[in-house]
Amino acid sequence: MKLGFMTFINPEWTLKEHIDAAKRHGYDGIEPRSEANHKHGIELDTPDADLKAAKEAVANEGLEFCCLATSRKYSTADDAERKESVQLTKRYVELAAKIGAPCIRVFGGVLPDKPGLFGVMRYMTDALREVAEFAADYPVIVCMETHDHWLFTYRLMELIRRVNHPSVQVNYDYAHPLREFEPVYESYMHVRPWVKHTHMHDLTLNEDGSTTFAEPFTGIVPQKQVMQLLKADGYTGYFSLEVMRQDADPTLAAYSREFKKLLNEI
């Protein structure tokens, strides 16, 4: 299992600064967050020559782009908006392939009031299957995150089962299901066959259901248990740190130290 981080750790850093930080703190990969005005330079309008240079710059330091994080979602009842998101997802698949990222992160989105869950399931299945059939021609997997109205892992499990395509899998952000009182073991069992990427952070849960980033490995998230479950299933992918508005270097250092300590214990 490998350790990466999303560029939200410091959106103002250039790609070189992210590379330097990864080397400084012992990370294996970098996850560029697109569609968020970060300064890393990995976007849909980036010239191919610059993307090639970025890929080489990362590889030359023994690192890789572990995922490309997007804002794409498919739950909207507006057909035109959903179709636009599908087309943009295809372009992000192409972008991920150009930089050598093995997957992209997408969201399900918030459920609309109508046509109800079963209606939304039908059109989301169609949208994701179209994305999957496109992605099948690339070495890129589309990973839906356990997030928003799809942090209920039994719901996400049903959607992925209906799509039934190897190019659509799961980004297991294992902290989010805790907000709905799903124990880690239960949430993992729901998505177990499809986990290809994970997001790591530590949180405290507030009385109103909101969350606050906690000091690394001090919050409610049972990091060791998740690592044990994934290791037992032969997971060799990334734990990618997704932390915002924190002091970047101390945060990166602490997560790296504690992750490697647990990795030696399990």
User: How far is Cα of residue 132 from the mean position of the Cα atoms in its chain?
Assistant: 17
Provide CB contacts within 8 A for 230, sequence distance 6+: 1, 188, 195, 198
Domain boundaries along the sequence of the chain: 2-265
Asked whether the predicted pLDDT for residue 209 surpasses 80, the reply is no
How many angstroms separate the CA atoms of 73 and 259, rounded? 30
36: buried, middle or exposed (CB in 10 Å: 19+, 13-18, 0-12)? middle
Segment 140-166 shows an average pLDDT of 97
Task: Determine which helix (DSSP H) or strand (DSSP E) holds 265, and give its type and residue range.
Answer: helix 248-265
166 pLDDT band (50/70/90 cuts)?
very high
Res. 112 pLDDT band, cuts 50 70 90: very high
DSSP tag of 201: -
Is residue 187 within 8 A of residue 177, CB to CB? The reply is: yes
- Residue 206 pLDDT more than 90? no
DSSP 220: S
- pTM: predicted TM-score of the whole model, two decimal places: 0.96
Backbone angles phi, psi at 99, to 5 degrees: -100, 0
Residue 210 predicted with pLDDT over 90: no
Please answer whether residues 138 and 103 qualify as being in contact, where contact means their C-beta atoms are separated by less than 8 angstroms.
no
Whether 150 has a pLDDT exceeding 90, the answer reads: yes
> How many CA atoms are closer than 13 Å to the CA of 146, on its beta-carbon side?
32
Question: Which residue(s) pair with 172 in the sheet?
Answer: 198
Amino acid (1-letter code) at residue 212: T
CATH number of 2-265: 3.20.20.150
